[in-house]
Each structure stands twice: as structure tokens, then as C-alpha cells.
């Protein structure tokens, strides 16, 4: 066997000394006895803190999600907080309803106590935005949510907020990763204390630095803030109440969403009963993500049967929102893209507010929000991808009122009570926006046409390639595009450069901007084994057209044809670079 394999065996045997989970100790022993080369995959390196903290399949070793990884990560978090002058940091901890989430949360709580911190642990599963709000409501120094959001059932994850309620960025992610590496190397010094703390929590021993929190209290605090925020923007209501079908996608958003609708005096949504209760197996969907083909089929069937106006869907931890509405024909339902809903919400919030305001979008999201904001005299900032960046836009605009931020991956943040994606508050505001349109006998398509007449037609679509078998290829593919970008896109000459044209912090990927304003951004996903390309075309609409509606229709058809052509080019571009990267 190779030296790499021998090192993996040594690391695996050392790991079993401290792994508190018998199931994984047994698996590791079996792999060692069988001299299984999979040990290299499991023990060569660690999960790195990414866009959403830690996220991986549950399994043994430092490259999977398990109790020891959670313990070491949490001690590392507390250590960094202490190094920054917080002697006994307060950490709030929540978890979703996935397999192992509650158990990993307990291990994390024990690690906080063992490391000298204070902890508040929810007593039942909660939506991620509720825990994000609890960080602020409890004046905590950090917050941890055990969740893998919309990942497959086999996965779990560890999401971290700092005391400002936002996800961590450099230098804290680098500092925490370094602390974890140091702690893991000397875990014999720290592991016994965590073992003792964990045993005490299981036994119900009282501890002055541990508190079990009624999750309903945190949910109530978030609900009050969400309803108050949404009511600031309440518009006209239709004569007939909006009929909405709701699916929780087998996640934890259901109860909180129903309570929020009731508190906001909105009609209760019709439930997709087969997907309402939390179920870690996600039995009715191939992939528990509202953006995936087929994920909304059951909800759309319920909506059709009940002649509903719209479908609202949360992902399993309810930080993201998808909305489907009647198509232009008024017959079938169509799911709004993240950009369509993002612009619709942004436009509504801007029209319903005043003052010196700020909105933000991730750099891969639609530039139409910039145009809508500029026309209303509202500042709009483009940030790096991920809400850890979107939520920081306010730092660059002191004195302005933070209104709204979004990313095309159906993530929306309204107001400052949650400084991350919040699908529950977004659902309340989406309901208000759709209700106002209905009150004036208009549809979302009417509003999109009005925006197109004013700003031009913006059409966007993502293109992606998955790399489940060998994610390491993703970096090579992107590097090849950076070093050898295409010279034209859609027949228009291209200028290539870093994402954000160098105005943003360096990040992996490349931005291609054509002379006709077609934009393509290619980057590796921070949460999935995908390389993603974000394509957007802009087609002007003549402001002096004799028939504005016809002019918009013509421009939209031209934009959609151009978009299809460019997406085909980009797909071929990714595949050719994939072939080169793997050859």
C-alpha cells in the first residue's frame, strides 16, 4: 500500500480513540481490517468551512458529518471567540428534523460547556431563520444550526452565525479552521472534558452554563418580528382573499408558517398534507429542493384541484422560498425563478417604502434590481454570492435604511430582524405583493411587462454540471476558463475578468461580459458538487413604441431566443473544459 494509505490508516485508528459514536468506530475498524482504499477519501483532510459552514454526508472521519467533527468545530468556535476577548461566550443552538440533527446539537452544546462557554439549546427542531433571529434576541455571541438545508437525506451540516447575526467571513472562517486543526491534533487534551459534559447533559445534570430553551419562545419572538416587518409594507387587499397552497417540503417550516399567517391575519394556506410533517427521508421528492424539477408536483396538484392563486414552498429548513403562480394563459402553474421573485419582492418593497434606503443582491442575481432601485433613487449593491456577503452590504452604507437583499437561489432577506435568508418573512411579503396585484385585477406578468417597458427585458437562466464522483475536477474546469475564456458569447465580443469586475473581494470563478450586455458568471458551488454558470441577457424596449405591449412582447421573444442560444454555448463550453480537465 502507498504511504498515503498508511497515513490514512494511522489517522483512522487515532480517530476511533475519540469518536463517541459506536456505529462509526465499527465502520472504521471494518475498513482498516479490510485494508479498504476508501479510508483515504475519509481521512485525507477535513471538511472546510464553506459558504454555509460545514456540510457533507453523515459518516465516519473528518471529511464527513459526525459527532466528533461537530465537537471539534464547536470547541474551535468557542476558542476563537475567547481569543477575541469573550471569556464565556453565549452560544445559541438549534437544529432541523434531519437524521442526527438533534444528537449533533447536543454534542455541540456539550462542547460549548466543556470549552468554557455558555449555551442555550432549543428543545425541539426549528426553522433556521428562527435560530438566526434568536442570536440577536438573546444577545448571543454566536449561533449554531445543525442543518443541511435542501441537501439530500444522507447529508447534514453545521451553520454558524456570529454575534451580529450574520454568517462568518474571513478572517473568522480562517481562524476557526486553524483552531479546529490545532485542537484535532491534540484532541486527547480536550476530548475527555467534552465526554464528561455530554454525559452530564444526557443525565440531566444541572449546569450553570447550560440552558434548555423552549423552542416555542424563540419561534414566537421571530414571528412577532416577521409580522411587524411585513405589516410595514401591507398594500391593498383583494375583494376575494388570495388562495395559497403551501408545502413545507418535509421540513420544519410548517408550524411556524401557519402561525405567522394567523398572526398576520392572513387566510390559512391550503396544505400539501403529504409534505407537511417533518420527515428526514423526504419520501415524496427525489431531491428536497423547491428549485428541482418535480419537487413541487404534489403542491401544484393540490393547487390545481383547489383552483388556487399561488403555491408557496419552503426548503426543509425554511430559509428559502419558492412561489408558483398561474401562467400567462391563466391555466397551468409556473414556478417563478429566484430572480423573478427576487425582483418582484424588491420592486414591491421599494414602492411601499421611502427614505434613504439600501437593497442588495448577489453578483450572480439579476441586474434588473439595480435598474428598479436606481429609478426610485434607492442604493443597490452587488455582493459576492451567499448571504454572508449580501447581509454585509449595510456596512458599506452607513446612515441608509436596510430594506432588502436577495440571491437568485430563492433566498430573500427583508428587514434586519434576520440577517440571513428568511423564507417565513418572505412568504408574508410575497402574499402582500400578490394580494395587491389581485386587488387591482393584475398579475405578476402584468407587473413584469411594466418593468420591461421601463427598463428593458431581462432574461436569466442557470446552467450547471454536477461532479458527484470527482468534485476535485471543478477547480480545474474553472481555472481553465479563467486562463482561456471565450472571445465571444452569442456572437458578441466578450470582456472577461474576475467576478464583479474586480470591485469585489477575490473569489473563484470568472465573469464574461459581452458588448451587448449579455453576462455569464461561472463559479464552483459552495454547497454542492456543481460548477454553475449564471446567464443573463438584456433586450432593450423602445420607449417610443406606438404599441408598448407589442414592443415588450417582441423584445421578450428576442431575449428568450438569445438566452437559449447563449445557454447552449455555455453548456458546450463547460463540457469541453470538463473533458480537458479530466483528460
Equal CATH topology for 336-455 and 457-582: no
CATH number of 457-582: 3.30.310.50
> Can you give the residue ranges of every domain in the chain?
45-219, 242-334, 336-455, 457-582
Higher pLDDT, 406 or 467: 406
Confidence label for 1 from pLDDT (cuts 50, 70 and 90)? low
Mean pLDDT value across residues 88-112: 98
Which of 29, 55, 72, 322 shows the shortest CA–CA distance to 187? 72
What is residue 253's three-state secondary structure?
Answer: coil
Residue 149 designated active-site: yes
- Render pLDDT for 20-70 as a digit per residue (tens, 0 to 9): 999 999 999 999 999 999 999 999 999 987 656 899 999 999 999 999 999
Q: Distance between CA 478 and CA 496 in Å, rounded? A: 13
Q: Distance between CA 279 and CA 281 in Å, rounded? A: 5
Q: Which of 101, 108, 149, 525 is catalytic?
A: 149
pLDDT at 537: 98
What is the model's pTM? 0.95
Confidence label for 342 from pLDDT (cuts 50, 70 and 90)? very high
pLDDT at 236: 85
**Which CATH superfamily does the domain covering 336-455 fall into?**
Alpha-D-Glucose-1,6-Bisphosphate, subunit A, domain 3 (3.40.120.10)
CATH entry 3.40.120.10 includes domain 242-334:
yes
Are the beta carbons of 421 and 387 closer than 8 angstroms? yes
pLDDT at 471: 85
pLDDT at 420: 96
Q: What is the mean pLDDT of the chain?
A: 94
**Percent of the chain whose pLDDT exceeds 90:** 86
Mean pLDDT value across residues 307-326: 98
C-alpha radius of gyration, the chain, whole number = 24
pLDDT at 413: 97
Mean pLDDT value across residues 310-335: 96
| Residue 16: pLDDT over 80 | yes
Higher pLDDT, 582 or 7: 7
Residues paired with 406 in a beta bridge:
361, 412
Q: Which residues contact 143 (CB under 8 A, 6 or more apart)?
A: 91, 92, 93, 94, 131, 132, 134, 135, 160, 161, 165
CATH number of 45-219: 3.40.120.10
- Render pLDDT for 120-136 as a digit per residue (tens, 0 to 9): 999 999 999 999 999 99
Hey, what's the cell of 218? 424563540
- Render pLDDT for 222-260 as a digit per residue (tens, 0 to 9): 999 999 999 999 888 888 999 999 999 999 999 999 999
Amino acid at each position: 500500500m502507498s504511504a498515503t494509505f498508511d497515513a490514512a490508516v494511522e489517522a483512522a485508528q487515532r480517530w476511533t480513540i475519540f469518536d463517541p459514536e459506536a456505529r462509526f468506530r465499527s465502520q472504521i475498524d471494518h475498513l482498516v481490517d479490510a485494508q479498504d482504499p476508501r479510508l483515504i477519501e475519509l481521512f485525507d483532510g477535513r471538511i472546510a468551512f464553506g459558504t454555509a459552514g460545514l456540510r457533507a454526508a453523515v459518516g465516519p472521519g473528518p471529511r464527513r458529518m459526525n459527532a466528533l467533527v461537530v465537537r471539534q468545530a464547536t470547541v474551535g468556535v468557542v476558542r476563537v471567540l475567547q481569543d477575541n476577548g469573550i471569556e464565556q461566550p453565549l452560544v445559541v443552538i438549534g437544529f432541523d428534523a434531519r437524521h442526527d440533527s438533534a444528537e449533533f446539537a447536543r454534542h455541540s452544546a456539550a462542547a460549548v460547556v466543556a470549552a468554557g462557554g455558555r449555551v442555550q439549546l432549543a428543545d425541539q427542531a426549528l426553522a433556521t431563520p428562527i435560530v438566526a433571529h434568536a442570536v440577536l434576541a438573546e444577545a448571543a455571541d454566536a449561533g449554531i444550526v445543525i442543518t443541511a438545508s435542501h441537501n439530500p437525506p444522507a447529508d447534514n451540516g453545521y451553520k454558524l452565525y456570529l454575534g451580529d447575526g450574520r454568517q462568518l467571513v474571513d478572517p473568522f472562517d480562517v481562524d476557526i479552521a486553524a483552531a479546529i486543526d490545532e485542537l484535532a491534533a491534540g484532541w486527547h487534551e480536550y476530548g475527555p472534558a467534552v465526554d464528561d459534559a455530554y454525559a452530564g447533559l444526557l443525565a440531566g445534570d444541572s449546569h450553570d452554563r447550560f440552558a434548555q430553551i423552549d423552542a416555542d419562545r424563540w419561534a414566537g419572538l421571530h414571528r412577532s418580528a416577521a409580522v411587524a416587518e411585513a405589516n410595514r409594507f401591507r398594500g391593498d387587499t383583494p375583494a376575494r382573499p388570495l388562495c395559497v397552497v403551501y408545502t413545507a417540503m418535509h421540513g420544519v417550516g410548517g408550524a411556524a408558517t401557519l402561525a405567522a399567517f394567523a398572526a398576520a391575519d392572513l387566510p390559512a394556506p391550503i396544505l400539501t398534507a403529504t409534505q407537511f410533517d417533518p420527515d428526514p427521508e423526504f419520501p415524496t421528492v427525489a431531491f428536497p429542493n423547491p428549485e428541482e424539477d418535480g419537487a413541487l408536483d404534489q403542491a401544484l396538484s393540490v393547487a390545481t384541484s383547489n383552483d388556487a392563486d399561488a403555491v408557496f414552498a419552503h426548503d426543509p429548513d425554511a430559509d428559502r422560498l419558492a412561489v408558483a403562480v398561474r401562467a400567462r394563459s391563466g391555466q397551468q402553474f409556473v414556478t417563478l425563478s429566484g430572480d423573478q421573485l427576487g425582483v418582484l419582492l424588491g420592486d414591491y418593497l421599494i414602492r411601499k417604502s421611502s427614505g434613504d434606503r439600501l437593497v442588495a443582491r448577489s453578483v450572480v442575481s439579476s441586474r434588473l434590481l439595480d435598474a428598479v432601485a436606481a429609478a426610485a433613487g434607492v442604493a443597490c449593491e452587488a455582493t459576492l454570492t451567499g448571504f454572508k456577503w449580501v447581509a454585509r452590504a449595510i456596512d458599506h452604507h452607513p446612515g441608509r435604511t436596510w430594506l432588502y437583499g436577495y440571491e437568485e437561489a430563492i433566498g430573500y432577506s427583508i428587514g434586519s430582524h434576520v440577517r440571513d435568508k428568511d423564507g417565513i418573512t418572505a412568504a408574508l411579503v410575497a402574499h402582500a405583493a400578490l394580494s395587491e396585484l389581485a386587488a387591482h385585477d393584475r398579475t405578476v406578468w402584468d407587473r413584469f411587462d411594466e418593468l420591461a417597458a421601463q427598463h428593458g427585458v431581462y432574461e436569466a437562466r442557470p446552467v450547471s454540471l454536477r461532479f458527484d464522483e470527482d468534485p476535485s475536477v471543478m477547480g480545474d474546469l474553472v481555472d481553465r476558463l479563467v486562463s482561456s475564456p471565450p472571445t465571444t458569447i452569442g456572437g458578441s465580443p466578450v470582456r472577461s475578468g474576475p467576478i464583479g469586475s474586480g470591485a469585489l473581494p477575490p473569489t473563484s470563478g470568472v465573469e464574461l461580459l459581452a458588448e451587448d450586455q449579455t453576462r455569464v458568471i461561472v463559479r464552483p458551488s459552495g454547497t454542492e458538487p456543481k460548477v454553475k454558470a449564471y446567464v443573463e441577457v438584456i433586450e432593450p424596449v423602445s420607449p417610443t413604441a406606438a404599441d408598448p405591449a407589442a414592443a415588450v412582447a417582441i423584445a421578450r421573444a428576442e431575449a428568450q431566443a438569445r438566452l437559449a442560444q447563449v445557454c447552449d454555448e455555455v453548456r458546450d463550453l463547460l463540457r469541453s473544459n470538463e473533458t480537458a480537465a479530466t483528460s
